[in-house]
Amino acid sequence: MKQSATEQIVEPTAIKVQDVGFSWSNGEPILQSCSLSVPKGEFWMLLGTNGSGKSTLLRLLAGLLTPDSGKIEILSPVGFVFQNPDHQLVMPTVAADVAFGLVAEKLSTVEVRERVREALAAVNLLELERRPIYALSGGQKQRIAIAGALARHCEVLLFDEPTALLDPDTQLELVGQVQRLVKSQGLTALWVTHRLDELNYCDGAFLLEGGRVVERGEPQRLRTRLLQEETQ
């Protein structure tokens, strides 16, 4: 059956935010009628200056905060990777930390081991399975945090400036790794950043200003806009 000219192909959406508002308890508004959507299987980035609401929006998506108004729809399970991995790595060794998030699933020991090894292999750290967490570099810690989400078979990955504490080479290595994971495993990712060179790796981007999405679409177009604004 042929599709009529008036019909549109609707892409499946992994993240949908509709007119979301959020204020802190003191009444300070952070998000105001914020809306965006991320297609399933794509890697999008969220840009904006400090105080624009990027991290708050990510925490709303992860369920760490509750919106005052509007609607959020997101595929689950959801994995959240913090800016500082030390805030979420809680076990003494790599394998134990990746397995930690599987406790609620009541899997057998064999199933847990398979999930852990599969996730570590996906982030190219299988050889560090028995390594103590304290002996890892910053980039390795971020990849272990990602492996924890992969082990839980998360559909959506949320990243809150995960390269902020890394050196320049490790920054691009990590974003490239995430891009490959999204494409090879059919995941969806939303990545908060203020580094314009990271836009080379994503499918699309949003620009947040004053708690609203004011621009969205092709990442290089947004990059050009932001560079022009910096020079004005």
DSSP of 107-119:
--HHHHHHHHHHH
Q: From CA 151, how far away is CA 68, in angstroms rounded?
A: 32
Looking at the structure of the chain, the number of domains it has is 2
- 81 found inside a domain: no
| 206 shares a domain with 143 | no
Bridge partners of 23, per DSSP, are 29
| 72 shares a domain with 159 | yes
- 98 found inside a domain: yes
Q: From CA 115, how far away is CA 109, in angstroms rounded?
A: 10
3-state SS track over 125-166: CHHHCCCEHHHCCHHHHHHHHHHHHHHCCCCEEEEECCCCCC
pLDDT at residue number 25: 87
pLDDT at residue number 50: 85
pLDDT at residue number 107: 92
- Of 154, 183, 198, which residue constitutes the final position of a domain? 154
* Residue ranges in the chain modelled with pLDDT below 70: 1-11, 232
pLDDT at residue number 232: 65
- 123 found inside a domain: yes
| 212 shares a domain with 100 | no
pLDDT at residue number 102: 94
Tell me the residue range of the domain where 188 lies.
13-76+155-231
